[in-house]
Amino acid sequence: MAEAHQAVAFQFTVTPEGIDLQMSHQALTEIYLSGMRSWKKRIIRLKNSVITGVYPASPSSWLFVVIAILATMYTRSDPSMGLIAKIQEHLPVSQSMSTQCQAVVSAVLFSTMLWLLLIFTMRLCLKQLLSYHRWMFEQHGKMSNTTKVWVALVRIFSGRKPLLYSYQGSLPNLPVPAIKDTVKRYLESVRPLMDDTKYERMTKLAEEFESSLGNRLQWYLKLKALWASNYVSDWWEEYIYLRGRSPIMVNSNYYGMDFLYVTPTPIQAARAGNSIHAFFLYRRKLNKEEIKPWLLRSAVPCCSYQFERMFDTCRIPGTLTDTVQHWQDSDYIVVYHRGRYFRLRVYQAGRLLSPREIEFQIQRILDDPSPPCKGEAKLGALTAGDRIPWAKARMKYFSSGVNKRSLDCIEKAAFFVALDDDEQGMMGDDPAASLDRYAKSLLHGKCYDRWFDKSFSVVYYKNGKNGINAEHSWADAPVLSHLWEFTLAFDSFQLGYNAEGHCKGDVDSSLPRPQKLSWEIPPECEEQISQSLAVAQALADDVDFHVFPFQDFGKGKIKKCRVSPDAFIQMALQLAYYRDQKRFCLTYEASMTRLFREGRTETVRSCTNESRAFVQAFDGGEAADVCSRLFRTALEKHQLLYRLAMTGAGIDRHLFCLYVVSKYLGVESPFLKEVLSEPWRLSTSQTPVQLSEMFDPVNHPEYVSPGGGFGPVADDGYGVSYCVVGDCMINFHISCKRSCPVTDTHKFGAQIRKALHDLLQLLSPTQKEPSKVEESRPEVKKDL
């Protein structure tokens, strides 16, 4: 094979005359340039480590301190109050060094210690400042004088031009709430879901726990909080994600969609060329820490540690628990097409391939007529089925030889790419149904044409549409959506396409062909692949999806009513669920805790006493003024719960960690056991739009993405993801199980639409009912 020969730097042949040595200059050049690229990355990482390590100061400030100290010394004053002389006395120097030189060295050492002390002090001050959260509870648009002073101090101590990880050392640790506060809030959260008898029983269990075992467990948790950066995150990753033995496809992984109304090019290989190039440009910015830290209100930083494992990461199956493996920058991706896996190098002679060159290589894979190896076509089903069979198969059949080399290639790749022969997107005579099929394709595909263990897999369809599927353990959706928004925007507005729809630029036709991976799959392994595929296929067939863009109004009209768009949507979901199921349920809304170091998420329990009172009054036909008052009370309560969750005073992560401690100690808690077994029949999440500055909603309003979604958490419940886009659109992704006779995504979607209109009418009774806006637009093909 040509690529195999090019990978060898030299060859030798033993002859009667001696050894004939043949050097490959091309291969040696490739090795040299690859080494240079590696060293450049190390230098950049070292430089960034220094800059981040001394933040909020700067390396140049050290020189300023040294010069200032030396200048004061030459004016015959001693700013060190005798410390420089003490350092000079104990300085281990040779006799050849003059007294003046010793004094300078001592001054430099003192200046360095003073500089480090100043850095430590500034960082400690910033950490204390960032522990202040009263600003979040103040009325929107009204800032107290205390908060104004606080904002000014935060900006002073934050330094200038922070890198992505600059704030990490200054972020406060997640506080451990008091047991009595958590128990009180928990009982309040379950009151609307229980009758008097059940609530009285739960109250007794809670009181017994609080007065006995709870304090013992809390002591261990506080001890962990003193030692660890975050008392929740490592246990959350391990026990919620990595120790789950059921399939991660549908149950854990989630997806993101392409533009709704626009396809930048109908050419599959060209779309892949531009976006793959954009992915690697993002990785370059990530390695250089050039991505701006996420700041709330342009002042309060959020934790960035989840970005570290975005690329070159894979989940590795184990019999007891999985692990997340992260490698250094890979220079290739793995591409799946028609049952075959290809290794595609995206760096040549030390440079990143241009979009046109990547398109050329992708087209080579599309045109490759070679058949899959025996057992290769549906190999990816192992990652879609149960984890224990996959772990055993990996150990038995992929721990040596060619299978290990090929599997290592997939797992160590920068990310995974799937080239589908299907067409997806909003299209055809039934655009609503096409969006539902699009969502299912991204979430599970054919159950064997994705590698669900990779940190993320990108799917490119035959008609130029694309999408992304992500593994959940390494990071939460807002982190991946940042990457996805950058890629979509850079693909369309920065790179663009020529008149024929191809990537711009020239191509080097001498590029080595993508390397097809080889496999030797025994019949026993094929049997396991078939079993995993059967499990995954049954799970995929059972998932029902409904995706729809709601365009009758958006956050623009909601904000005019002076209410939070998120709280408004959550109340609409409560009303819709009650109308759909004739009952209330435990509701999960994901909130972030990234104001704290290594923070991930917390739960907002959206079904409250206040929301229940409003829904019953509104659906029972109470007077409009009564309903309006109850509605605003419910909205205020939801906002309070959301803010408490963001500031570390949530319920569920604390109870979860107490439960983990109880298991380590080998003690049983009836209270914790019951709390952790309660099903979330309505699981919701908002996908935030973060890089709005990269899009132009005025000149290009059609360039909107409907966001993404996830599978249902409970077998008899709904999963709802929503994305607020601009002022006039809210996109919904609804999922449930077809096997459940009481859930239906389309019926629930209709209830959500009705609830949104009803609530807006309640807040604006003089406003006319908005006319029905067509949910679909003709698909637009754009060549930029």
For residue 622, give every residue at least 6 positions away whose Cβ sits within 8 Å of its Cβ, in sequence order, or none. Answer: 630
For residue 591, give every residue at least 6 positions away whose Cβ sits within 8 Å of its Cβ, in sequence order, or none. Answer: 601, 602, 603, 604, 642, 645, 646, 650
Cis, peptide link before residue 56, omega less than 30° from 0:
yes
Alpha helices in 296-455 (DSSP H): 355-367, 387-397, 401-411, 431-444
CA distance 440 to 541: 9
For residue 690, give every residue at least 6 positions away whose Cβ sits within 8 Å of its Cβ, in sequence order, or none. Answer: 294, 478, 481, 482, 485
Annotated active-site residue in 337, 472, 482, 502: 472
Task: Count CB-CB contacts under 10 A for residue 463.
Answer: 19
For residue 306, give every residue at least 6 positions away whose Cβ sits within 8 Å of its Cβ, in sequence order, or none. Answer: 474, 475, 476, 479, 600
Burial of 307 (0-12, 13-18, 19+ CB in 10 A): buried
Q: How far apart are the first and last CA of the chain?
A: 38
Residue from 352, 203, 216 nearest 277 by CA: 352
Both tokens of 493, joined, read 């507005």
Both tokens of 67, joined, read 């010069």
Asked if 540 and 437 touch (Cβ cutoff 8 Å), the reply is no
**DSSP letters of 551-562?**
-S--HHHHHHTT
CA distance 586 to 684: 11
**DSSP letters of 755-767?**
HHHHHHHHH-TTS
Task: Count CB-CB contacts under 10 A for residue 317.
Answer: 23
For residue 58, give every residue at least 6 positions away whose Cβ sits within 8 Å of its Cβ, in sequence order, or none. Answer: 51, 159, 160
List of E strands, 643-716 = 682-686, 708-710
Asked if 131 and 172 touch (Cβ cutoff 8 Å), the reply is yes
**DSSP letters of 493-522?**
III-B-TTSPBSS---TTSPPPEEP-----
Indicate the angle between helix axes 652-665 and 213-227, nearest 10 degrees: 100
CA distance 269 to 363: 6
Residue from 748, 347, 192, 274 nearest 503 by CA: 274
Cis, peptide link before residue 369, omega less than 30° from 0:
no
Residue 545 has phi, psi (to 5 degrees) of -125, 145
Task: Count CB-CB contacts under 10 A for residue 94.
Answer: 5
Catalytic status, residue 140: no
Residue from 509, 515, 518 nearest 368 by CA: 515
Token pair 């000149």 is found at 699
CA distance 569 to 553: 12
Both tokens of 711, joined, read 């599978």
For residue 724, give every residue at least 6 positions away whose Cβ sits within 8 Å of its Cβ, in sequence order, or none. Answer: 554, 555, 565, 566, 569, 686, 689, 730
- Active-site residues, by number, are 472
